[in-house]
Amino acid sequence: PRTHLVFLKTHKTGGSSVVNLLHRFGESRGLRFALPHGYQFGYPEPFRAQRVKGFHPGGTPFDIICHHIPPQNPLNTLLTAPDPPQVAKVMPNDSFYFSIVRDPGTLGESAFSYYRSVAPAFRRAPSLAAFVAAPLRFYEAGARGNHYARNLQWFDFGLPPVPPSDAGAVQAALSQLDRDFPLVLLTERFDESLVLLRDALCWPDDAVAAFVHNSRTPAGKARRVSQGDIERLRAWNHLDWALYSHLNRSFAKKVEAYGAQRLRKEVEGLRKRREELARRCLKGGGPLPARVIADGELRPFQPPGREQILGYEVKEGLEPAERLLCSRLATPELQYKDLLDRKQF
């Protein structure tokens, strides 16, 4: 199994669910995580090795880094800059780099709901419909927090800002990304992505059986955008759409290489295993509103806006080993980070 991993976590793409399985895999094998001194590594400021707790120049590299890594522009400063790249200062040379992306047509709606209070462009708009109809009325390039409002994934990857008309520059950035990231997962094909990830990492089956984290209430999910608004959000986030379209094609090639029928069978097995774990572990058999979760270690962070994030409550009466397994599956990202911090330091 590969144990040197760099997961570039992008916003509003399902990355928290991936982080949970990385936390569980690493903890079960005693691997060392590159953790921030506090809540995060200083996002959206550029990543620096000194922001990693326990980092010493020339010291032993870490095994896994999987929280938001603030971008450096351009992306190749992460991996190939002559002044040694900052991530390479804390991670081994044989690390496997991967990430996850989502269609900007739906990501835009999620970002608007979640980051309404921190992105001035979203805050100024009376509604998502108003923002989508005329985003330039509300958006000011360079304003702090507005990276959430346009081409968020391009920003998270640290790709250089280029005009959409410069197809050569866009393609050059995407080609660099292909060289640096051998696998990028897709939110819309999440279970297929997990199977391909498991195969790439030579991990056991159960290692990628995870619950969905950071999901919204049914009322929040019900606020679907129209197909017209999806197209407008893709046009507004033109670099994200180029990124997503490119990676979607790359993903299709990986599916073909793996075998579509084989992949369907593996996905079916993964989903059955997840359902089995939910029945075995969870009170109510699935996600619950945060307000009814009694255990603070399992209660998810709630954003400052009106959006409500669901979490999990573990059944009572489980045997100690089973309770530990179930609790780890249900533990939100922030509490798990603190748990790992306590174990390492």
Q: Is residue 302 a contact partner of residue 308, using CB atoms and an 8 Å limit?
A: yes
Domain 5-344: state its class.
Answer: alpha beta
Sign of torsion over alpha carbons 136, 138, 143, 148: negative
Give the pLDDT of residue 71: 63
What are the DSSP E strand ranges found in 72-224?
Answer: 96-101, 183-186
Q: How far apart are CA 93 and CA 96, in angstroms?
A: 9
Q: How far apart are CA 150 and CA 237, in angstroms?
A: 5
Per-residue pLDDT tens for 169-199? 999 999 989 999 999 999 999 999 999 999 9
Per-residue pLDDT tens for 50-70? 999 999 998 999 999 998 887
Q: How far apart are CA 330 and CA 314, in angstroms?
A: 7
Give the pLDDT of residue 76: 44
3-state secondary structure of 314: strand
Q: Which residues contact 277 (CB under 8 A, 6 or more apart)?
A: 209, 211, 326, 329
**Sheet bearing 96-101, strands edge to edge:** 64-65, 5-8, 96-101, 183-186
Question: Residue ranges per domain, the chain?
Answer: 5-344
Give the pLDDT of residue 84: 64
Give the pLDDT of residue 288: 94
Give the pLDDT of residue 80: 47
Neighbours of 102 (CB within 10 A): 25
Phi, psi at 5, each rounded to 5° = -135, 135
First to last CA, the chain: 25
Give the pLDDT of residue 305: 61
3-state secondary structure of 76: helix
Mean pLDDT of the chain: 91
DSSP 54: T
For residue 114, give the amino acid letter. Answer: Y
State the 10-residue block means of pLDDT for the chain, 345 residues long: 96 96 98 93 89 94 90 48 74 95 96 92 96 97 95 92 88 92 97 98 95 80 78 96 97 98 98 97 94 93 78 96 97 96 96
